[in-house]
Amino acid sequence: MTEPTTTPTSDSSSSAPALRRVAIAGASGRMGHMLIEAVRNAPDCRLAGALDIAGSAALGADAAAFLGFTSGVPIVADLRTGLQDAQVMIDFTRPEGTMAHLAVCRELGVQAVIGTTGFSDAQKAEIAEIAKDIAIMMAPNMSVGVNVTLKLLDMAARAMATGYDIEIVEAHHRFKVDAPSGTALKMGEVIADALGRDLKDCAVYGREGITGERDPSTIGFATIRGGDIVGDHTVLFAGIGERIEISHKSSSRVTYAQGALRAVRFLSGQRSGLFDMFDVLGLR
């Protein structure tokens, strides 16, 4: 993470606090709907743009129509149109969409909160470059509970560095397109860091056939997809004679949306830099 740089908020001339102007990318998605509702209910935010991919059936509709409400903000595919009135974009889409959105955010000086998962290493490096020009908060999971769980995992991994086999199991709904989840990968990274390992060298993604005995230096991943599971993550530390299971289960996407709004507020004082939810929640 780069060092935060602070800047005064620009809308301080009137007596009433200025509303943060927020654009939502992926406006008709599962998270897009949660976010539009959260922005509508937030006393300090205003919906200022709504984007969806070209060809989406949602284009042209009012962004809040699904709530039975008219926001006056149409869902558009043209990135400059969708972002021109925004101070900050919240993006829960797909990696290729996020990269295209970020290029325009950089051009227009719009901050970004990124929840999308599944980025390649090259895409992550490009995001870090863009964050030299605009403030970006990126996290694979914006719930408070998951971020506290990451802290618990760091502590557990240090205390059980030898003699315990580490396995990460995640379950999500049938519509999810990336695996393992961004959260599971982040959990693996936190544990590998705590153990002084590189996840790239020790991750095992699924097993099949005659695998041989388990290599104790590995971190295993297992993925379940089905129905409407919002998001479950369990990390097993399995020893001889005992095991610990650290689990987090999401029962609603509202926690992700509330985390994204906390990030919007956190970014309001930042000129540039790449941040995560530890920064937003004061957990670093």
Ligand X SMILES: O=C(O)C1=N[C@H](C(=O)O)C[C@H](O)C1
CB 205, min distance to ligand X, A:
14
176 is annotated as an active-site residue: yes
Partner in contact with 142, chosen from ligand X, ligand NDP, none, beta carbon below 5 to 8 Å by kind: ligand NDP
Consult the annotation and say whether 162 binds a ligand: no
Q: How far apart are the first and last CA of the chain?
A: 11
258 binds, among ligand NDP, ligand X, none (CB under 5 to 8 A by kind): none
Q: Active-site residue among 33, 101, 172, 248? A: 172
Question: Does 33 participate in catalysis according to the annotation?
Answer: no
- Between CA 43 and CA 59 the distance in angstroms is 27
Judged by CB under 6 A, does residue 268 bind ligand X?
no
Instruction: Of 218, 202, 210, give the one whose Cα is nearest residue 165.
Output: 218
Of residues 181, 255, 258, 270, which one binds ligand X by CB under 6 A? 181
Quick one: which segment of 4-12, 181-189, 239-247, 261-269 binds ligand X (CB under 6 A)? 181-189
Alpha helices in 54-209 (DSSP H): 79-83, 95-108, 121-130, 144-159, 182-194, 199-202
Q: What are the tokens at 111?
A: 């901050």
* Total residues binding ligand NDP (CB under 6 A): 24
Classify strands 219-225 and 243-250 as parallel, antiparallel or unpaired.
unpaired
Answer yes or no: are the C-beta atoms of 118 and 97 closer than 8 Å. Answer: no
Residue 92 touches which of ligand X, ligand NDP, none (CB < 5 to 8 A by kind)?
ligand NDP
Sheet holding 20-25, edge to edge: 75-76, 45-51, 20-25, 88-91, 111-114, 135-138, 273-275
On whether 106 is known to bind a ligand per the annotation, the reply is no
220 in contact with ligand X (CB under 6 A) = no
Nearest to 112 by CA among 139, 145, 73, 94: 139
Residue 41, marked binder: no
State the minimum distance, in angstroms, from the CB of residue 111 to ligand X: 21
Q: How far is the CB of 140 from ligand NDP (least distance, A)?
A: 5
- Answer with the entry of ligand NDP, ligand X, none that 172 interacts with (C-beta below 5 to 8 A by kind): ligand X
Catalytic amino acids?
Answer: 172, 176
The binding site for ligand X (CB under 6 A) comprises 117, 140-141, 172, 176, 181-183, 231
